[in-house]
Amino acid sequence: MLSRTSKVGATSYVYQVYVPAKFEGKQNLPVILFLHGIGQRGTGGFLPTDGVQGGMLRHYLEQVPAIVVLPQCRKGSYWTDPEMDEMVMKSLAQTVSEFGADPERLYLTGVSMGGFGAWHLASEHPEKFAAIVAICGGSPLRNGDRFASIARKVGQTPAWLFHGSADKVVPVDESRQMVAALKAIKGNVRYNEYEGVGHNVWLKALAEQELIPWLLKQHRNEKQG
């Protein structure tokens, strides 16, 4: 795990980058940008160790032939805040430049607060990402047509959503309505809803054997299913 810094104005932010050992030095690797949940906010850099982070570490960082970027949201802030948006996109751009990554295979993933953040970034930076994975997330908008406006901006970017029907933290209707909005514009969307599963639905998502192969086959200029 490598520590890096990006600056927004006069403020420095620590983010982590993971490059699988067997792929060190290789060019044109895809990049997975992971946005954590509200409980991991802080200033020291987001280091996945246990819980959801440990699951993500085992499944994504150790096994996937991709660079993983792990920014950290500041306490009291959200991924939707303009400064957090700028920090994340700078961290991503620096990673692509430093490691010679493939700009056509940038994958946006997030859990809970990070799922809301994923929809925010995908809509604010359309055509930047080759695919979106939103786990127990929802629309970052609080007013107006919260789902249709996001769907219109996301367009045909492939998206896979996961949610538990018994989620007491983020209502499952957040994902259901996002899926409906994407389907209404004939978007490229998949959805897994797990009956009786609560907010820890990420365990189901990480166990989904098709997820990683699906993610890694997506290219920004070749919208696939």
In angstroms, the first-to-last Cα distance of the chain is 32
pLDDT of residue 222: 63
Place 51 in a pLDDT band, splitting at 50, 70 and 90: low
Place 203 in a pLDDT band, splitting at 50, 70 and 90: confident
**How far, in Å, CA of 107 to CA of 179, rounded?**
19
Contacts within 8 Å (CB) and 24+ apart, 6-9: 6/71, 6/87, 6/90, 6/91, 6/94, 7/90, 8/83, 8/86, 8/87, 8/90, 9/83
pLDDT digits (tens, 9 = 90+) for 117-176: 999 999 999 989 999 999 999 999 999 899 999 999 999 999 999 999 999 999 999 999
pLDDT of residue 63: 73
pLDDT of residue 24: 83
Place 53 in a pLDDT band, splitting at 50, 70 and 90: low
pLDDT digits (tens, 9 = 90+) for 20-38: 888 788 889 999 999 999 9
Q: How far is CA 118 from CA 10, 24, 32, 90, in A?
A: 25, 27, 12, 15
Q: Which domains does the chain have, with CATH numbers?
A: 7-44+62-216 (3.40.50.1820)
pLDDT of residue 61: 67
158: which 2 tokens?
Answer: 């492939």
Q: What angle do CA 224, 218, 130 make, to 5 degrees?
A: 105
Residue 211 clears pLDDT 80, i.e. is over it: yes
